[in-house]
Amino acid sequence: MIYTLTLNPSIDYVVEFPSLCVGGITRIQKEDFVFGGKGVNVSHMLKILGTSSVALGFVAGFTGKAFVQGVKGYGIQPMFIEVDDGFTRINVKIHAEEESEINGLGPVVSKLYLDKMMKLLDEIKENDILVLSGSIAKGMKDNIYADIMKHVEDKRIKVVVDACGNALHHTLKYHPFLIKPNKEELEEYFHVNLSSINEMLVCAKMLQKEGARNILVSLAENGALLLCENGEVLRCNAVKGKVVNSVGAGDSMVAGFLHVYEQKKDMKKALQMGVACGSATAFSKGIASKKSVEEILERMDANL
């Protein structure tokens, strides 16, 4: 089973209109509610591909209740802990002459609820996969992902970490099965400017020396680079297309990779599916449909 953990999920209120009237009234032409957060996005893409997962995390308030119902509507099995301080955040995504975002804070998660989450994680069995991704909720230290990995260390599960900065750094000593940095996150982590794929590969090798087993580097329109724990380096180019929305593309890449890896244990095919899912979501308004992923895969095969 695959478990995804989203510490600070969100309801995205997406609105579209031609222009924002500052100081006046703006009438919305189109609106939508999207239930997400990085781990939930992974679960959503997995469900679309036909792989089951359990979505873990924290919710609060009336928005938390709406969030859980929304996740159920995606066909995802939710296992969220309700906390009593604050409410699940609402992020406003404005699509006008320019794109703007107003992101909420989210609830405060105390040690009491963190302990409850640890007890839920005790249900994970050997050979399961746990995906830790996204921002950390208020009240948590930046080593929370490392604490979780330490807690499940004896279970012999595969842990995927999609985080940045100190939150990622603290996990490396526990040897995550897969991490997924992008160019900007590599630059932030190593305090450098990267101008080539070879330079990113050097950074990936340094992360491997720090403890990560496999490093999947998202290269946006250039596909992805995978440094395997056996030292093999794999590349997969992306197909061309119009980027509509980059939110969830990296999460879709993780989902596509895990979907194939779980079935075939084939790194090359897993990488290809990851790039296909990431591209398909980037070319869609939300998490991509299975049909969109299949169309991208066909175009990728034609380019081989």
Residues identified as active-site: 251
* Torsion of the alpha carbons at 113, 126, 265 and 262, rounded to the nearest 10: -50
Query: Residue 53 is encoded by which pair of tokens?
Result: 């997962």
Q: Which helix (H) or strand (E) holds 36?
A: strand 30-36
* Number of neighbouring beta carbons within 10 Å of residue 164: 17
CA 32 from centroid of its chain's CA atoms:
21
Going by C-alpha positions, the residue among 32, 73, 55 that lies closest to residue 255 is: 55
Nearest-5° Cα angle at 33, 28 to 35: 155
Backbone angles phi, psi at 161, to 5 degrees: -120, 120
> Using CA atoms, how far apart are residues 211 and 190, in angstroms rounded to an integer?
15
> Using CA atoms, how far apart are residues 163 and 136, in angstroms rounded to an integer?
9
Query: Residue 111 is encoded by which pair of tokens?
Result: 């040690």
Q: Which residues of 134-143 are buried (b: 16+ CB within 10 A; e: fewer)?
A: bbbbebbeeb
Q: Three-state SS for 74?
A: coil
Strands 53-60, 2-6: parallel, antiparallel or unpaired by DSSP?
A: parallel
